[in-house]
Copies of this chain bind each other. A is one copy, B any other.
Amino acid sequence: MNDTDFVTAFAPASIGNLGVGFDMLGLAIAGTGDWVSARKSDASGVRIIEVQEMNGEVHPFLSTNADENTASIAAHSLWNATSNHCGLELIVRKGIPLQSGMGSSAASAVAAVVAVNALLDEPLPKSELLVHALAGEKFASGGLHADNVAPSLMGGLILCPQILLPDMIQLAVPEGVSSVLVHPELQVNTAESRRGLARGYSMDQWLTQQGYLAGFIAACEHNDIELLSRCLRDELIEPQRAASVPCFDEVKKAALKADALGCSLSGSGPSIFALCRDKSAPNLATAMEQACRKLGIECQSWISPLNAPGARVE
C-alpha cells in the first residue's frame, strides 16, 4: 500500500454550549479544523502512524498511542461496528489548538469517522456516524456530550440534548449573523472544568436559563435577531467558569461595546465567542483581540457564517 490509498477528511472546529445551551447547543465554525487520513492495513487493529501539527511537523504533545487519541478511538468504534477484519492506519493533522474550547478532540474524532466511513463498501449516512465520533469524544470529555461532535459533523447550528441522542436537530440560523471566535493562548481542561461546576441549582436559576434557551431557539427559527440578542446569555455556567479565563471579562466587555449580540465562553473556554450582524464582524474581532492583547495574552480569531459546513472528505 502507498499514500494514494489514504482517504482524508476535514472536520471543523466548533463552539460548544453556545453560551445559552449548556451541553446541548453547538455551532460549527469555518476556517480551522482537524484532518484525519485513513487507509486499510494488513495488520489488525487501529494504528496511528503520526500526529502532525498544521505545518506537517510531528506534534510535540500528542502521542500516537491509539488508546489515547479521540481519532483512533472513534475510528475503532466505527470499524468494529461494520465488521471489518483488516486493520486501519491513521494520520492525524491538528489545525485546532489543544484545550482551546474549540472542539479540538471532537473534530479529530469526527474527521476520523468521516474518513473511515469513506473506506467502507457501504458508507453509512452521516447521522449514523455520530455515535462513533461520540465514543472518541467521550475519552476526552468524560461524558456523552455532543455539542462539539454534532456541529463538527453536520455543520451549522445543532441542538443535541443528551436525552435525545443519537438524534441531532439542525436549527434554522438567522440571516445576516456571523460568529466571531477568539482563542487566547491559554489552556483549560474540559473534564476538570466540568468537575468544578455546582451540582445543584434553584428552580429560579433553571427556569431563567431554560427561558433563555427556549427563546434563543425560537429566535433562530423565527429569524428574530433582536430576540436572539436578548436570549444569548448564560447565567448558570459562565459565572462559574469565567474566573479560569483571566481575559474573559475584558474581552466580553469589548465585544458588547463593539455591537456583539451576545458573548460567552466557547465550551469550557478559554476561547470566547460572540455573535453579531455580518457587517460588525471585522471590527468586533479586532476589538476582542485588542482587549485580549492589552492584558498581555496572545490570541487569534476566526469569523464564520452561522451555516458553516460540517465535516467532509477532501
User: B-contacting residues of A (Cβ < 8 Å)?
Assistant: 21-24, 159, 161-164, 167, 169, 171-172, 197-203, 206-215, 217-218, 221-222, 227, 230-231
Contacts and interface: CB of A to CB of B under 8 A. Distances in A.
A218 B215 contact: no
A86 to B, nearest CB: 38
A227 B197 CA distance: 30
Contact of A199 (B167, B198, B202, B222): B202
A228 to B, nearest CB: 12
Contacts of A198: 203
A211 B169 contact: no
25 contacts: A23-B207, A24-B207, A159-B214, A159-B215, A161-B207, A161-B208, A161-B215, A163-B208, A163-B212, A167-B227, A169-B215, A169-B218, A169-B227, A171-B218, A172-B221, A200-B202, A200-B203, A201-B206, A206-B209, A206-B210, A210-B210, A213-B213, A214-B214, A214-B217, A218-B221
A211 B221 CA distance: 17
**Could you tell me the dominant secondary structure of chain A's interface residues?**
helix
B164 A24 contact: no
B162 A207 contact: yes
Contacts of A159: 214-215, 218
A255 B213 CA distance: 30
A136 to B, nearest CB: 22
A207 to B, nearest CB: 6
Contacts of A222: 169
A164 B206 contact: no
A164 B199 contact: no
A214 B207 CA distance: 13
Contacts of A21: 214
Contacts of A197: 203
A197 B171 CA distance: 33
A238 to B, nearest CB: 15
Contact of A164 (B23, B169, B231): B231
A222 B172 CA distance: 10
A210 B210 CA distance: 6
Q: Which of A198, A210, A215, A227 has the most CB of B within 10 A?
A: A210
Nearest to A226: B167
Contacts of A227: 164, 167, 169
Given A199-B202, A199-B203, A200-B202, A212 B161 contact: yes
Which of A164, A169, A199, A211 neighbours the largest number of chain B CB atoms within 10 Å of its CB?
A211
B22 A207 contact: yes
Contacts of A217: 214, 217-218, 221
Nearest to A171: B218
A47 to B, nearest CB: 37
Most B Cβ at <10 Å: residue of A172, A200, A206, A230: A206
Contacts of A211: 24, 161-164
